[in-house]
Amino acid sequence: MPITSTYQIANLSANTTFYDWFIKENDEIISKLNLMSVFSATGGDGILATTDSSGLVTIVIGGTAAKIDTGLTFNGDISFNGFVSIPNISYKITGITTGSSAGFSFGSPVRFVDSSDGYTLAKADNQERAESLGVISRITDTGTYVTVLGKIEGDFSGVNGGSALSPGCFYFLSPSVTGGISTTEPTNNGQVSKPVLLSLGSTAGLVLQYRGNYINSAAAGAGTTGGNRIFITIDSSLPGLTSQFTVGKVLSYNPALDETDTDTINYFTNNGNRNLFNGWFLSRATNNFEIPFGGREEDFSVGIITSITDLGSVYAYEIAIAGNVEYSLGSPGVYYLNADYDVDVAGSTQLIKSSSLSYNGKIFAIQYDVSNIVVVNNPRKGIFGQNNDFRLTSSAGSSVNTENLLLNGDFSIWQRSSFGKNSAYTTTGNLIFADMWRRHDGISGGDGTKSYSIQRQAFADIQSDVEGNPNYYLDVKALGLSGETGNNLLIGHVVKDAKSFNGQSLTLSFYAKCTYPDYVIQPYYARYNGTTQIDFNNLNGESTVSLTTSWQRFDIPFTIETLPSPGSPLENDYLEIGFDFYPLIEQANANSIPLGQNLVVSISSVCLFGNQAYTFPHIHKDLNERLDHCHHFYYSTYGLEENVLDKSMLNDIDANLTTKNHIILPINYCTYIQWPNEMRTTPSITVYSPKTGYTGDAYNQTATRDLRNCTGTLGYNAQRRVAKLGASTIDTNPTKNGVKLCVSGGAVPYDNIFYHIIADADYPI
């Protein structure tokens, strides 16, 4: 038979003759060998093959040269018993090429649309656009490579706002820049939190495949509550819906309205050219008993639209029904529903700012700074005078359910535990004690002797003397000998923006008492640019508030003067409202009260309301919501019931839930911690050991000691830990959004590091 590549040469036997061997050699063996191709490969280059004792062949691809210049194709299965280093998992797509696909660049997150539209850039502003499948790692003239998992290297500045990557940081799909990435995690309703990359250096990153988290998912049906929000869905095909229902519009609801009834249609057409959508409609102040309501239309207002999500067949609307909303209606002031609102009239507004007590409309919101409003949606029905005009009643005993504009008027948030939270703080001078509360010590001279004290006290479990159900009150002692200079000792609560409430009428309401009767304090407001006082005003002229030994409520109406622009950085400007204790000091000196006397003023349930015509009930908003706002200024990983320097390690290994930690990786000794909210400015950072309370250090759980004490101990792979004497063991690089924390001593790879962090971005004092 002819000799082919598949021909098998038979074995010789013991009886084979020399002639048989000669024939086999010439006709079979030499012919078989001539079928082989010989290449110029040497040992260590290309493909090496060896045979073990069992006859199995092992192929080494690359040898010592470790390089193959052409592609390899395997038709069968491939198995590896050892470690295989694969740089990333990528695949090639068409339609995006060099020079012809504007907007696409290295590092761009992309998504697949469909077979006709192919691939496009991803964006985290809704669920569909956030379905990123990978990151562009190479663009050529014939196609583009998308990496779905693994390490890529290159210039990320085109997708990261012109900047290189920050090593150790997570990068999220951007909700504002199509095909962009950001270290700031999306938090707004309707957005998607989708991590796409972990930075391994300024030009290197690890592509991740994490599930995106849709924020405030529209899976909640109409009417489902969420704090001070509700969510509704309306058929997107209804004519006029998108033009009338926009963010910032106030909506009403009446399920009994018949959208096919002629009188109903005519009513809405003639009263503002509004449409009905499944019982929902734009709100307006109308106090006549007209068809179709049989009462006042404004009684049906629900809330203000804060976000809209397009879900295809329906639109999902988020509606704030009460409380704080980050939105601007214009300048600070009290806003009413407009009785003359008309959709088709240019310039017609739904909410009108007015300080008139007889405005023909319903109070809906109070704007207290340039970007925040409080939805009050006043449920009062109003009364009627001549011509059926709407009037806000100010009769004795009447009240409205509005909100306290002070974040911490009940002293429940006290993150700076070293300053009077648990025991009396007796040091003099300027001081920030409870969150948003500070003391300005403007008294000096004399014999230099003062007797000051600040301490938070707890009410009994059951008390009925102070409304608002506060858990705490503040004790303040302020005594000084005669001969001093200066003219104030201020205890005040901060409200951001020095021009807040310019020209507005407000009411300060609080409870107070004193250990001795007839001693006085003076309510005030002041505005500051950093440490510079811009103005100072007594709320009730030169009059003071005289205290008794029992809790007593005080309501002080006043109007804030209009302040010209101070021409200074807005981040340092704030308004402060509170109590001046200097009149009490003068009175005590006149009465020869010694410094050791227990002359203490107690203050509780401090409220600021956006109108001076009423006696408001004291209501303090949800604690977590208020703490969330306080975190713009001061953030502590210690819990509200914990104190700074508390030892939060339960033992050498386990920590409580407030303690932060991260594991040291061989490629990076750093981690990135994101603040709950963007802080007012770049904060100062202090790190504490949760095991010992040591300031400026952290606890190495693996070594069971603080980082500074780890020198000489052994960790992973017998590596020796080193902490240089006197050198920092943990370094921080903060921003307004978070902090990069790097362990610089006392640790080796795979050590578990625990710590507490305090970030202070409060106004200077």
Read off the CATH number of the domain in which 528 is found.
2.60.120.260
Q: Are residues 282 and 368 in the same domain?
A: yes
CA atoms of 5 and 502, how far apart (whole Å): 97
Q: Are residues 188 and 295 in the same domain?
A: no
Residue 244: in which H helix or E strand, if any?
A: helix 241-244
Q: Are residues 518 and 646 in the same domain?
A: no
| CATH number of the domain where residue 202 is located | 2.40.300
Q: Are residues 172 and 99 in the same domain?
A: yes
Dihedral of CA atoms 735, 168, 190, 128 in degrees, nearest 10, equals 150
DSSP per residue, 303-366: EEEEEEEE-SSEEEEEEE-SEEES---SSSEEEEE-TT--TTSTT--SEEE---TT-SS-EEEE
Q: Are residues 274 and 363 in the same domain?
A: yes
The verdict on residue 31 lying in a domain is yes
The verdict on residue 627 lying in a domain is no
Q: Are residues 331 and 460 in the same domain?
A: no
Residue where a domain stops, chosen among 622, 650, 675? 622
Q: Are residues 79 and 95 in the same domain?
A: no
Residue where a domain stops, chosen among 85, 109, 129? 85
Q: Residue 762's pLDDT is what?
A: 94
CA atoms of 284 and 133, how far apart (whole Å): 47
Q: How many domains does the chain have?
A: 5
Q: Are residues 473 and 492 in the same domain?
A: yes
The verdict on residue 197 lying in a domain is yes
Q: Are residues 483 and 604 in the same domain?
A: yes
Cα–Cα separations (whole angstroms), residue 37 to 32, 34, 341: 11, 8, 91
Q: Which residues pair with 605 in a beta bridge?
A: none
Q: Are residues 451 and 554 in the same domain?
A: yes
The verdict on residue 514 lying in a domain is yes
The verdict on residue 412 lying in a domain is no
Query: What pTM, to 2 d.p., does this model score?
Result: 0.51
Q: Are residues 589 and 445 in the same domain?
A: yes
- Other CB atoms within 10 A of residue 178 CB: 16
Q: Are residues 465 and 522 in the same domain?
A: yes
The verdict on residue 411 lying in a domain is no
The verdict on residue 425 lying in a domain is no
CA atoms of 631 and 676, how far apart (whole Å): 7
Q: What is the mean pLDDT of each run of 10 residues along the chain (765 residues)?
A: 75 80 81 70 53 57 51 74 79 79 87 84 91 92 90 93 91 93 86 92 92 66 54 90 94 86 86 90 75 70 91 89 87 87 89 70 84 77 32 34 81 94 93 95 73 94 83 94 73 86 85 95 91 87 87 90 66 89 92 92 92 69 89 94 91 92 91 92 96 95 96 94 92 94 95 97 92
Q: Residue 557's pLDDT is what?
A: 87
What are the strands, taking DSSP E only, across 676-747?
Answer: 684-688, 699-700, 705-706, 730-734, 738-743
| CATH number of the domain where residue 745 is located | 2.60.40
Residue where a domain stops, chosen among 64, 85, 106? 85
Give the domain extent around 32: 1-85
Q: Which of 575, 410, 601, 578 is nearest to 508 (CA)?
A: 578
The verdict on residue 406 lying in a domain is no
